[in-house]
Each structure stands twice: as structure tokens, then as C-alpha cells.
């Protein structure tokens, strides 16, 4: 064909494809916008009372039986359980030395029959879309980085012999400096299922400006039922996690953080209430029942989990720099490196067990972070104890 004929044809084709592309974009964003509006309506329910916290969170007190968690399609017929039926037995005596980071300060409570829901904004949801979630499902050393999010994981996990019905531990709490697009977590993991259906529950503390909108050290939770492909989220950014306490939210701020002189920790227990199959989140020595992940959310967590672990996750920002993890120091001394102590799991008989001898170390080959499996950290009252973390930066991988 003559060039004079071909060129206009190409030009016309270009204009057409360019136009459809723009139209597709517009309709997509309008569709996405509608979807966001629908999500917001689901998450922000009519409040019986609203207040602002010292940290600037807007809290809506919502009828416990109408909370956003219940909008999950799998929870249509779910009846809220206000208390678990069972509780694990055989916990060691609490040590008088421990200083607890949370509950030292009082936050306003919601009225009886309501639970505190942190108000979600459109920006929160837009940010949530680009949050790295796959990194929350990987326990072993990394060889590749899903969705381009570079991250490092350091932990001890139980050998995969039998199902475990819970994890318990005292996580030392630190204040870290974390960039806007970095994430740093200290947490416990519960996992079960094949990779594309991996069921995951996490709880611990984090400094993650993208999740919280600030630099504060806060509690966090995470769950997914399919390896973070389409289901699950952090905290209450999607329906699923049912709250039962009238004052504690999954993003609760931890105002007291450790220094080299004074150490603070938060006691966290996640366990399966075997008669109902629900997984409960319990805080502190007073056993405050924060809420639970209903069994309906999962298809591989009805009878315990094969994988449980304790440690940290650090997710790098766009420039490839990793945040500090733990205390931000890899000095591996009890005073200056982050500890998790009183590490226990819950067995088939619903008893707390010391993991002695059955732990594996997962330490990725980064040069930034370290791990010491230190039995009792040199003191009997620490029970089972690990030290972990590091400064971050360019992690040499
Ligand atoms: C909720 O948590 C607070 C601690 O902040 C505790 O005092 C209270 O007893 C808890 N309520 C329930 C119903 O568990
Ligand atoms: C932690 O450090 C940030 C600044 O990086 C500060 O805004 C915040 O108040 C500190 N939190 C605590 C508990 O000290
Ligand atoms: C490690 O921490 C201990 C206790 O705080 C301190 O005495 C020591 O100097 C630290 N070492 C380094 C290399 O920072």
C-alpha cells in the first residue's frame, strides 16, 4: 500500500485508541469512586455518640450488633459473641516486674452496647488500596518481592508438627522514626492453607504513617483468607474483625514506649475459642477481650493453624530504604534491642505451652536486621524470649 494511504489510517487508529483509552479511564475512575462511596457508607455507620481522641482519631460509638464488621457477606447470619466460651489454662504467674505500655492511660469509652469505630475517610481508603498486603503473609526468607514491595521478615516459628490453637507473648514497645511510605511491625502470626488460599491473622504494634496517618506507635491487626489477593485488610479498613470492647480499637495508641532505662511491653494473646471456632484478640494481664475474627471468614482455620510465629516485618519505601524494626538497634543486648518474651503457644488441649526446643528461626539474608533466640533472655521470669530488629536503611540485597 501507498505510504500516503497508510499514514492517515495509522493516525485515525491512534486517535480512536487514544479516545477509548481516555473514556475507559474516566468511566473506571467514576466506577472506582462509586465503589469508594459504597465502602465508606459500609464502614461509617450511624453513631450513638462521637468523640475525638487526644491523638486526633474520630471515634463513632456504633451499636455492637450493627458494626461494620457484620457487613462482610460471609457474616450475614453471624450473631455477635460478646465473650468466648473457653480460655486457655496453665499460664505462668505474671511477673511483677513487667511494665505495661497500654491501659495506663484512660480513653473515653463508648456507652454500653456500642463499640468504638474509628471513622474512615476517603483518603484512608485510597491509601489502603496501595498498601502492601502480600508482605504480611510471608514468613520465611524472601527471594522475590510480590507487587514490588521490598520487605524483610525476622521471626521464630513453631515447627509444623501439630495444629496450634493460639499464640501469646509480651511485645516490647518502641517509638521509631518511619518514613511516610515505610511500614514497621512487631507482631505474632497465625497462618494456615495453601499459598493462594492462605488464611492469615496478625496482631502486634506498628509505626506506619500510611496506615495511621501519624508517626505514633499503635496496636494493629491484619487478616486475609486468600494470601492477600482479594480479601482482608489492616485494622477496620474492611468488614470482618468483630469488636466487643467499648474502648479499645485495633489501632489503639501505645503512649508509653521503651527507652534504654525503662522498658514497656504489651501482652497480646490470639487464640481459637474451640467450641465456636472464632479467633479472639486478648490484651494485657487483665485479659481484655478486644474482639474476634469469626470462623466464617476463613476456610483453613477451623481446627487450629500449622504455622505460628513471633517477630517483625519491615517494608521499604519507594526509594528502597527499609525502616527500623524492633527498637531500631541490632545490638542484641536486652536493654537496647526489642524483645518478645513469655512466648507461649496454645495446644490442642487448650493449654499454654512453652515452645522450648520446637522453634525454627527465620532470618532473611538482609544485612539490616538480626535475631537472637535467647531462651529466657538471662532471667528466669522472662520464660521464652527472643531479641530481634535493626536499623534498616539499604539492606544489601
Ligand atoms: C474494655 O477494655 C477496658 C480497658 O481499656 C477494660 O477496663 C474493660 O473492662 C473492657 N471491657 C470489656 C467488656 O471487656
Ligand atoms: C514518637 O516520636 C514521634 C516523632 O517521631 C512523636 O511525634 C511521638 O509523640 C512519639 N511518641 C511517643 C510515645 O513518644
Ligand atoms: C549495646 O547495649 C549495651 C546496653 O545498653 C551497651 O552497654 C553497649 O554499649 C551497646 N553496644 C553498642 C555497640 O552499641
d(CA 108, CA 111): 10
| CB 122 within 8 Å of CB 40 | yes
Q: Quick check: CB of 257 below 6 Å from ligand 2?
A: yes
Neighbouring-strand partners of residue 245: none
d(CA 338, CA 217): 14
pLDDT in the model for residue 6? 54
Name the phi and psi angles at 359, rounded to 5. Answer: -100, 145
Q: What's the gap in Å between 233 CA and the centre of ligand 3?
A: 38
d(CA 172, CA 170): 6
Residue nearest to atom 6 of ligand 1 (CA): 288
Residues enclosing ligand 1, CB less than 6 A?
103, 245-248, 288-289
Angle between helices 3-43 and 122-129 (to 10 degrees): 120
pLDDT in the model for residue 380? 77
Q: Which residue has the cell 538480626?
A: 370
Residue 257 C-beta-side C-alpha neighbours within 13 Å: 21
d(CA 181, CA 54): 24
Say how many C-beta atoms besides its own lie within 10 A of residue 308's C-beta. Answer: 27
Closest ligand to the CA of 332: 3
Closest CA to 140 of 278, 17, 303, 309: 309
Residue nearest to atom 7 of ligand 2 (CA): 215
Q: What's the gap in Å between 325 CA and the centre of ligand 3?
A: 17
pLDDT in the model for residue 32? 85
Q: Is 192 left (phi over 0), alpha (psi -120 to 50) or beta?
A: beta
Q: What's the gap in Å between 234 CA and the centre of ligand 2?
A: 22
Which set of grid coordinates corresponds to residue 67?
Answer: 458494626
Closest CA to 99 of 269, 255, 290: 255
Taking only Cα atoms into account, the Rg of the chain, rounded to an integer number of angstroms, comes to: 23
Distances (CA, A) of 318 to 31, 134, 148, 180, 193: 28, 16, 9, 10, 31
Q: What's the gap in Å between 216 CA and the centre of ligand 2?
A: 6
d(CA 392, CA 321): 7
Residue nearest to atom 1 of ligand 1 (CA): 245
Which atom of ligand 3 lies nearest, measured to the CA of 329?
Answer: 14
Ligand 1 pocket mutation, candidates 64, 108, 248, criterion most atoms within 8 A of CB: 248
Tell if the pTM clears 0.85, that is, is over it.
yes
Q: What's the gap in Å between 180 CA and the centre of ligand 2?
A: 14
| CB 240 within 8 Å of CB 220 | no
d(CA 220, CA 212): 9
Distances (CA, A) of 85 to 289, 316, 352: 12, 41, 17
Q: Is 26 left (phi over 0), alpha (psi -120 to 50) or beta?
A: alpha
pLDDT in tens for each of the 397 residues of the chain? 455 555 555 444 444 444 443 444 445 588 888 989 999 998 999 999 999 999 999 999 999 999 999 999 999 999 999 999 999 999 776 665 556 666 555 788 999 999 999 999 999 999 898 899 989 998 887 666 666 788 999 999 999 889 999 999 999 999 999 999 999 999 999 999 999 999 999 999 999 999 999 999 999 999 999 999 999 999 999 999 999 999 999 999 998 999 998 999 999 999 999 999 999 999 988 899 999 999 999 999 999 999 999 999 999 999 999 999 999 998 888 889 999 999 999 999 999 999 987 899 998 767 899 999 988 887 777 789 999 999 999 986 5
Query: Could you give the 3-state DSSP secondary structure of residue 257?
Result: coil
d(CA 271, CA 280): 5
Closest CA to 236 of 67, 16, 51: 67
Q: Quick check: CB of 175 below 6 Å from ligand 2?
A: yes
Nearest 5 degrees, angle CA 238-CA 140-CA 367? 110
In the chain, what are the domain boundaries? 44-390
| CB 283 within 8 Å of CB 118 | no
Residue nearest to atom 8 of ligand 1 (CA): 288
Q: Which residues lie below 8 Å from residue 305, measured CB to CB, with a gap of 6+?
A: 163, 164, 165, 190, 191, 192, 199
Residue nearest to atom 4 of ligand 2 (CA): 215
Closest CA to 259 of 380, 101, 386, 102: 101
Closest ligand to the CA of 284: 1
Which set of grid coordinates corresponds to residue 155?
Answer: 521471626
Which atom of ligand 1 lies nearest, measured to the CA of 107?
Answer: 5
Amino acid at each position: 500500500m501507498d505510504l500516503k494511504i497508510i499514514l492517515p489510517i495509522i493516525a485515525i487508529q491512534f486517535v480512536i485508541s487514544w479516545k477509548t483509552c481516555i473514556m475507559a479511564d474516566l468511566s473506571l475512575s467514576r466506577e472506582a469512586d462509586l465503589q469508594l462511596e459504597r465502602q465508606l457508607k459500609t464502614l461509617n455507620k450511624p453513631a450513638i455518640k462521637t468523640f475525638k481522641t487526644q491523638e486526633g482519631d474520630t471515634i463513632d460509638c456504633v451499636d455492637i450488633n450493627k458494626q461494620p464488621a457484620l457487613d462482610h457477606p460471609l457474616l450475614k447470619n453471624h450473631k455477635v459473641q460478646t465473650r468466648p466460651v473457653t480460655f486457655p489454662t496453665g499460664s505462668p504467674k505474671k511477673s511483677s516486674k513487667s511494665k505495661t505500655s497500654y491501659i495506663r492511660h484512660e480513653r473515653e469509652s463508648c456507652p454500653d452496647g456500642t463499640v468504638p469505630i474509628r471513622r474512615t475517610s476517603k483518603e484512608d481508603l485510597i491509601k489502603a488500596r496501595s498498601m502492601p498486603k502480600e508482605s504480611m503473609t510471608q514468613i520465611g526468607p524472601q527471594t522475590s518481592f510480590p507487587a514490588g514491595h521490598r520487605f524483610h521478615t525476622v521471626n521464630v516459628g513453631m515447627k509444623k508438627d501439630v495444629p496450634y490453637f493460639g499464640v501469646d507473648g509480651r511485645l516490647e514497645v518502641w517509638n521509631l522514626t518511619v518514613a511516610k511510605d515505610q511500614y514497621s511491625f512487631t507482631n505474632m502470626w497465625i497462618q494456615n492453607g495453601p499459598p493462594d488460599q492462605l488464611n492469615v491473622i496478625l496482631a502486634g504494634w506498628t509505626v506506619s504513617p500510611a496506615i495511621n496517618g501519624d508517626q505514633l506507635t499503635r496496636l494493629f491487626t491484619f487478616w486475609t483468607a486468600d494470601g492477600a489477593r482479594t480479601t482482608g485488610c489492616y485494622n477496620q479498613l474492611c468488614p470482618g474483625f468483630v469488636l466487643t470492647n467499648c474502648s479499645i480499637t485495633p489501632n489503639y495508641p501505645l503512649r508509653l514506649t521503651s527507652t534504654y532505662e525503662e522498658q514497656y511491653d504489651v501482652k497480646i494473646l490470639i487464640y481459637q475459642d474451640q467450641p465456636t471456632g472464632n479467633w479472639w484478640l486478648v490484651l494485657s494481664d487483665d485479659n481484655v477481650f478486644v474482639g474476634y475474627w469469626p470462623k466464617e471468614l476463613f476456610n483453613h482455620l477451623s481446627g487450629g493453624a500449622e504455622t505460628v510465629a513471633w517477630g517483625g516485618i519491615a517494608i521499604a519505601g519507594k526509594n528502597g530504604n527499609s525502616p527500623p524494626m524492633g527498637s531500631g538497634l541490632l545490638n542484641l543486648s536486652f536493654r537496647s534491642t526489642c524483645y518478645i518474651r513469655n512466648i507461649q503457644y496454645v495446644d490442642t488441649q487448650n493449654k499454654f505451652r512453652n515452645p522450648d526446643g520446637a522453634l525454627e528461626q527465620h532470618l532473611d539474608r538482609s544485612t539490616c536486621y538480626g535475631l537472637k533466640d535467647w531462651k529466657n533472655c538471662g532471667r528466669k521470669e522472662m520464660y521464652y524470649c527472643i531479641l530481634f530488629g535493626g536499623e534498616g536503611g539499604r539492606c544489601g540485597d
